[in-house]
Chain A
Amino acid sequence: MATALELARPLEPADEPAQGRPAPPARQLRCCTASGCRAVGAEPLVQALRRAQELAGPAAHGLVIKSVGCLRLCSRGPLLAWDGPGGPALFALGSTDPGTPPGAAIGPGPAQALVLAAATAPGPDGLAALDLAAGWPPQPLPQGTPSPGALPGPLAGPPPGGGGSSQAPSPGGIGLTWELLDLNHPFFALQQPLVLEHCGWIDPDSIDEALARGTYGSWRRCRSQLSPEAVRATVRRSGLRGRGGAGYPTGLKWDTVALQPPGPRYVVCNADEGDPGAFMDRSVLEGDPHRLLEGLAIAAFAVGAEQGYLYVRAEYPLAIERLRRALEQAHQRGLLGSGTGLELELRVGAGAYVCGEETALLQSIQGQRGQPRPRPPYPAQSGLWGAPTLINNVETLAAVPVILRRGAEWFAAIGTDTSKGTKVFSLSGSVLRTGLVEVPMGTSLRTVVETMGGGVPAGPGAPGGAVKAVQTGGPSGGCIPAHLLDTPVDYESLQALGSAMGSGGMVVVGEAMAMPELARHFMHFSVEESCGKCLPCRAGTVQLEQLLDRLLAGLAEPSELEQLEQLCRMVKATSLCGLGQAAPNPVLSALRHFRPEFLAAYRSAPPQPALARPPWPAGPGAASDPGGRP
């Protein structure tokens, strides 16, 4: 079993063939500027730090300040990783006002203190002692004061005051906190960054940094030493399965495309990550785009395609920008484009979840309505403009370079018998620690959600750690109830419980959320995203939503439960594509694991006139209380 690799330490040289992996600069601040941290002001933070560095003069010259991709613990952003003596270390900048993005609130004084501290602190504990208001260096502490790093629970949330953090009133009176995060905490320590191995280390806008860490090395080996058959055999032996949700064996898909009759072929990267709450693919696109381009190039080589497309949803503007830049850079360096045998083109979606479905995605690339096609024929046989087309998910492709580098057997040794390798999950919802988690397949849900994620935070009406359920697979998946949290996360186990791995979005649900309400939320999503081509999805989901509305309003008769289940089965069995086929899953899964809660919502007696209509206003979901943020 491979060792659990911490985010902090670069891969040990002993694990790897001689790689020449560069050591980071002596002093460096890596600032996460992925979308999650951007929402809390990462961009103004980086600018403020750079300005402060200029003004600070020679004392701060040795410090490298750079923008990197996701540093994993999104709920504590903006995050900064520090490389220096005794490092690396991870810090969180916080704000005492939850509504104010901390990165936007840092003034020139605190920014300069931070820069000087990063440039001169003797070690992580020293940097942790930074007082943003008082400046740098800090005054010596009175005897007996515990050192900041020794205080318990640094990941539990910004402490009310003191201890490992400092308050600094900025203009406008917003207090800032500065806190050292514990990289030995399971949230970090149990991660095995494989797909995300460079994410958070490199500047995604720098192809040189990617190259220095070995990106495009496998692609070069392909072109100079390997045959397409050998590459496909390696991927087959690795046991890699599609990470977009279906879990189809990747090597088999590659073979199917490669063995079609001669003629043009295409490769397509499905970056239309539409599941709400899923941001795994986005993190790769924003944090290590060259890794994805390498994976896609290797796939094209393996199946004999000369033209490829990356289809990215329009709601990811930063990912689009970084991909465009990466494509340009790769072209300039001769890694893509003429002479390499591969042209890649970026295509932007336009707001249709259904375009995450393979055949609908192809229609969209062809400039048409994103309506799925009947399968068979499958895209591997007849895809873009009728030609054999390989479509793979971002995470699937991003795993390929490391499989080629470390070997199929190394990859297959991670995970379970049927689900090899690691999986990236995005943890969100009613959970203490929201963020990105990459763990070996087979890790239990409990480990991810409670040990790493911290469970449901304490709040009014909810004891801490009281997970009610975990929704996996988004609108196509289902919920796993708390008593089944020891289920290992792999394709088969989750399917057996009526859910699905899906693309990796994990939404944690607390006791305050009513399951019928959650089911209705997902059904509404399917109603809005249905393409409308086939009757069962177009009309059936509307009827299912209304059945659930009646249930939530307290108007439903017990006989409607049978109707609900019957219509769910009909939509599942007769819909044209995966969207419709899976639309009833959240309902069916909630009925399976939380049936008493549903039964209680059905009326046992005729309604009293006063309850015939809920009081106005009754907006979406107003009938019950999902808990809310205090």
Chain B
Amino acid sequence: MGTGETARGEPVPERTLAKAGPARVGSDPRISQLVAAQQGRAAGLIEVLHRLQALDGYLAKASLRQVAEELGLPLGQVYGVASFYHLFRLEPPQRHRCAVCLGSACFVLGAARLAARLEQRLGLRLEPPGGSANGPPGGPGPARASQGARPAPGPGSLSPGPGPYPGGWSLEPVSCLGACGQAPLLVVDGAMALRLPTGSPTALEARLDRLGLPQAPGCFAPGAWGPGLLMAGER
């Protein structure tokens, strides 16, 4: 039985806890083990969520409910924590993941141009990882390759509108992968690609092809980035 605490540090009243106790039918024994490994402490919530996501690839609502029950925490508090941290995914991950480093060192070496090209190629918008950009209840979820188009951004935004979605890819920004000496960087399905030639569209395209990145139907050919956007010194 967990020792739940409110944000104020007080014990959570008994009546507000889902009835915890011996594992119920349908409950996941792995979660009970993870909770036991943290001695049932409410402070161990983030550790439990890390290990749970390592097992399942994401945090399902039913799992979050069981975690809340066994740690003796309110449902909303657990959901609030799971949705706060960008590394926690509340939806199953896509089959393929592309992460582009937008740290400062990569940025001054052209990572923004790399990210723009990836958005075009994959037909996706850069999405903070974990889908925590879900927005309010009932609102549309983040653009994922298998779902519908994301609504157009508000006025003042310069991002491209919704586009076609090749199956099974997600595009995430990360801030500093820690290999600044090899900037700019990309990680495709766990494999790191280094020193991407952001100053040369054709060379960049060739590297992206080698990495197995698909081309969304209707995406612009490399180099055709619009008038005024060709780089000085490039032809």
| A615/B228 contact (C-beta < 8 A), A74-B181, A77-B181, A622-B116 known | yes
CB pair A277 B176 closer than 8 Å: yes
CB pair B225 A622 closer than 8 Å: yes
1/0 per position for B41-58, CB-CB distance to A under 8 A? 111111101100000000
Q: Which of A353, A461, A546, A628 sits near B175, CB closer than 8 Å?
A: A353
**How close is A393's CB to chain B, nearest CB, in angstroms?**
17
1/0 per position for A380-404, CB-CB distance to B under 8 A? 0000011000000000000000000
Question: Among the listed stretches B19-27, B122-130, B136-144, which one makes contact with chain A, having 4 or more residues with CB under 8 Å of it?
Answer: B122-130
Residue of A nearest to B133 (CB): A528
Residue of B nearest to A613 (CB): B158
| A629/B158 contact (C-beta < 8 A), A471-B104, A619-B115 known | no
A351 to B185, CA, bound (A): 19
Q: Which of B9, B116, B192 sits near A617, CB closer than 8 Å?
A: B116
A508 to B113, CA, bound (A): 18
**B193 contacts A by Cβ under 8 Å:** yes
List chain A residues, Cβ under 8 A from B226.
614-618
Give B103-153 interface residues, CB cut-off 8 Å to A: 103-110, 112-113, 115-117, 119-120, 126, 128-130
1/0 per position for A520-564, CB-CB distance to B under 8 A? 011001001001000000000000001001101100000000000
CB pair A626 B107 closer than 8 Å: yes
Residue of A nearest to B83 (CB): A369
CB pair B180 A279 closer than 8 Å: yes
CB pair B178 A279 closer than 8 Å: yes
CB pair A428 B116 closer than 8 Å: no
CB pair A429 B207 closer than 8 Å: no
Residue of A nearest to B128 (CB): A528
CB pair A367 B176 closer than 8 Å: no
A348 to B46, CA, bound (A): 8
1/0 per position for B1-22, CB-CB distance to A under 8 A? 0000001010000000000000
**How close is A321's CB to chain B, nearest CB, in angstroms?**
14
List chain B residues, Cβ under 8 A from A507.
104-105, 108
CB pair B193 A620 closer than 8 Å: no
List chain A residues, Cβ under 8 A from B179.
35-36, 38-40, 74
Residue of A nearest to B107 (CB): A521
Give B143-182 interface residues, CB cut-off 8 Å to A: 156-161, 173-182
| A314/B87 contact (C-beta < 8 A), A505-B104, A618-B160, A627-B109 known | yes
| A619/B9 contact (C-beta < 8 A), A279-B180, A549-B156 known | no
Give B209-235 interface residues, CB cut-off 8 Å to A: 210, 220, 225-229, 231-234
Interface centre among B9, B41, B174, B199 (most CB of A within 10 A): B199
Residue of B nearest to A318 (CB): B178
Q: Which of B160, B173, B181, B200 sits near A616, CB closer than 8 Å?
A: B160
**How close is A292's CB to chain B, nearest CB, in angstroms?**
17
| A628/B109 contact (C-beta < 8 A), A615-B229, A617-B116, A617-B120 known | yes
List chain B residues, Cβ under 8 A from A459.
199
List chain B residues, Cβ under 8 A from A282.
178
1/0 per position for B68-109, CB-CB distance to A under 8 A? 000000000100110011111000000000000011111111
The main secondary structure of chain B at its interface with chain A is: loop
Total A-B pairs, Cβ < 8 A: 248
A74 to B180, CA, bound (A): 8
**A119 contacts B by Cβ under 8 Å:** no
1/0 per position for A10-52, CB-CB distance to B under 8 A? 0000000000000000000000000110111000000000000
Q: Which of B105, B158, B197 sits near A428, CB closer than 8 Å?
A: B105
Interface centre among A278, A351, A518 (most CB of B within 10 A): A351
| A39/B194 contact (C-beta < 8 A), A314-B87, A386-B9, A622-B225 known | yes
Q: A99-B194, A626-B107 are in contact. List 10 more A-B contacts (CB 8 A).
A: A39-B181, A74-B179, A274-B175, A347-B46, A348-B47, A531-B84, A553-B158, A622-B112, A626-B110, A628-B200
On A, residues with C-beta under 8 Å from B are 35-36, 38-40, 74-77, 98-99, 101, 274-279, 282, 314-316, 347-353, 364-370, 385-386, 426, 428-430, 434-435, 459-461, 471, 474, 505, 507-510, 512-513, 517-518, 521-522, 525, 528, 531, 546, 549-550, 552-553, 614-623, 625-630
